[in-house]
Structure 1
Amino acid sequence: MEQNLNDKTACLVTAFQSGDVNAFSRLYDMHINLLFNYGCKLTTDKELLKDCIHDVFVKLYTKKAELGIIDNFKSYLLISLKNKLCDELRRRMFMSETAVEELNPVAGDDVEHKYLEKEKSCFENKKIKHLLAQLSPRQREALTLYYIEERKYEDICTIMDMNYQSVRNLMHRGITRLRELVG
């Protein structure tokens, strides 16, 4: 089944690179959910994620003549999305995360309640981010690929450009670190 899907994808990529717009559309449809689910593990900003996914496909379309041969299209897309998200997050890192509405709350019980709920949620999110930040980015990525995306170690090796034993070691260290932080 997996081999048939890879063969079908390879045929579609070849057709797309030859100028078949319908092949591009089918590639998009085949991979959009995978990319979105993978991206949700890397960021909670759904709008940023959607923009980055579309940017990946726009770049793919505009640079199709320069692509050459793509051995594993799915891995190519996942790596492209990860790189695009990292670029965008680095770019946004210097921008303020505080919304104008949070700086001047309107008086009133309902507004105060909403504000306190928002602060509580923000605190919890920061706490979770802090725990995840204790892992290296590579550990977070490897654990996400294995447990959330249900990838095989061979796929993780390809996506992360690492050998098999290094991925296993990375996974072990990440799990051990999470157990220390939680327990």
Structure 2
Amino acid sequence: MRLNEHTKLLGQRVVLVPYEARHVPKYHEWMSCPILRNLTASDELTLSEEYEMQRSWREDNDKLTFIVLSAEIYAKTNDEIAAMVGDTNLFLHYDEEDKQYVAEAEIMIATTEARGKGFGREAMLLMLKYAQVQLDVTKFEVKIDMDNQISLRLFESFQFVEVRRVEVFHEVTLECLVTPEWLAWLDTQVNLKVESYNE
């Protein structure tokens, strides 16, 4: 989605930047790990397929993505590639049954040394707040592997609730309705700072 191509989101621990072609080689290196692909339910792609995927994230109106940078490393080096620790995505669709726009959220902290530092939590909160401000979303959902207790606890802490389990896919779906009460809670959790981003 071109909505965020010139947008940088600033947090205390993380900085979110648009997914650019220069990020692809490191992202592709991450996704060569079978464990990471399993946790994210991702297919293994060739490098050229990864570049094509990056282009689709930029151009398709139903996808929104940011690369997650360690704010500390980025401040020290001013090098996005060195500071990359993961990504966060939204897949947007219109639910015909409920007549509302839904965003399926994803967060990945790819590097083991970056986990357990609150990067994923802050990155996801920034993404939820950005989407709430910029998009006409009335519900967020996530689909998480049943064994991924860290992600399940993370989204439960965001007030997402389990709505179904699909044993054949070993997957749990959690949802969160965008209500005035939830938005008030979100504002207590994150302060969205937006800057202009240029390559």
Q: Same fold (TM over 0.5)?
A: no
Q: Which TM-score applies when normalising by structure 2?
A: 0.26
Higher strand fraction (1 or 2): 2
Higher helix fraction (1 or 2): 1
Whose relative contact order is higher, 1 or 2, with alpha carbons under 8 Å and at least 6 apart? 2
Q: Which TM-score applies when normalising by structure 1?
A: 0.28
